[in-house]
């Protein structure tokens, strides 16, 4: 059985900072409709790899393909325009702004005609409706007031707004960097359910996480990154958390079946 064309693919990606090689001929494959977890020890280069495929870093060598077509992103904005949304651990939300304003940060809808074109007035009713609809779709309307400031929300709700924003605009790929790192057990559960809900809508997700129980619970495949490159890909149904940690740390070599995954 032939595999489908990866939604997002990297081949032989290299990124050097002076004498330091952060990404060393790394490969990457994200298939349609899957949750791909990317794991690795600190300093393994997984963050650099994700930055390379999301436009935050321009690789020195290698090729990135989106739906089989070669792409080269000079900035995260170009990646966003192509449909790749990244939610970083720091969330990149503006606490003093409202939920609706945060959903449309940098993508504000202007009023039609003279008021929007020349006076640059925003179409707030349209922005609020879309924000409310997107939050409702993802089961996040426990948030009563779309105009309340983000700083009034809990950590889980803030993460929900960030993921909802990515789902609203990331038409092709969503990358989540440690989405549950700063959350408690209950809020982490809600975010994991939210990630699965987004995937059920057909959007493939890259999940970078150190939380092995979360990775093994929701990932379809696990990309193990070590020493700047992809060591192997493992199936969470066929491997254990101990296997994953041993591979990450170099205590165990990948099996041939893993390398072919």
Q: What percent of the chain has pLDDT over 70?
A: 94
d(CA 220, CA 161): 24
Give the pLDDT band (50/70/90) at residue 140: low
Choose among 210, 215, 213, 250: nearest CA to 232: 250
pTM: 0.86
Q: What are phi and psi of 31, to 5 degrees?
A: -95, 160
Q: For the chain, what is the mean pLDDT?
A: 87
- pLDDT tens digits, residue range 212-233? 999 999 999 999 999 999 999 9
- pLDDT tens digits, residue range 52-65? 999 999 999 999 99
Local structure of 17: helix, strand or coil: strand
């Amino acid at each position: 059985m032939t595999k489908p064309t990866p939604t997002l693919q990297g081949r032989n990606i290299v990124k050097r900072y002076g004498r330091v090689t952060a990404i060393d001929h790394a490969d990457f494959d994200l298939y349609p409709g899957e949750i791909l977890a990317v794991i690795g020890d600190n300093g393994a280069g997984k963050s650099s790899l994700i930055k390379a495929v999301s436009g935050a870093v321009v690789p020195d060598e290698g090729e990135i393909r989106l739906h089989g077509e070669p792409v080269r992103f000079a900035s995260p904005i170009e990646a966003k325009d192509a449909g790749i949304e990244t939610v970083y651990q720091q969330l990149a939300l503006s606490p003093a702004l409202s939920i609706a304003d945060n959903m449309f940060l940098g993508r504000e809808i202007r009023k039609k005609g003279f008021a929007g074109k020349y006076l640059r007035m925003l179409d707030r009713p349209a922005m609020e409706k879309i924000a409310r609809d997107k939050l409702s779709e993802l089961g996040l309307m426990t948030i009563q007031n779309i105009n309340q400031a983000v700083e009034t929300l809990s950590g889980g709700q803030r993460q929900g707004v960030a993921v909802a924003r990515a789902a609203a605009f990331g038409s092709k790929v969503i990358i989540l960097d440690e989405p549950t790192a700063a959350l408690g057990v209950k809020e982490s559960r809600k975010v994991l359910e939210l990630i699965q809900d987004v995937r059920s809508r057909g959007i493939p997700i890259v999940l970078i996480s150190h939380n092995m129980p979360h990775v093994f619970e929701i990932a379809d495949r696990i990309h193990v990154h070590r020493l700047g490159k992809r060591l192997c890909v493992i199936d969470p149904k066929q491997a254990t958390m101990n296997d994953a940690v041993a591979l990450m740390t170099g205590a165990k070599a990948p099996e041939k079946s893993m390398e072919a995954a």
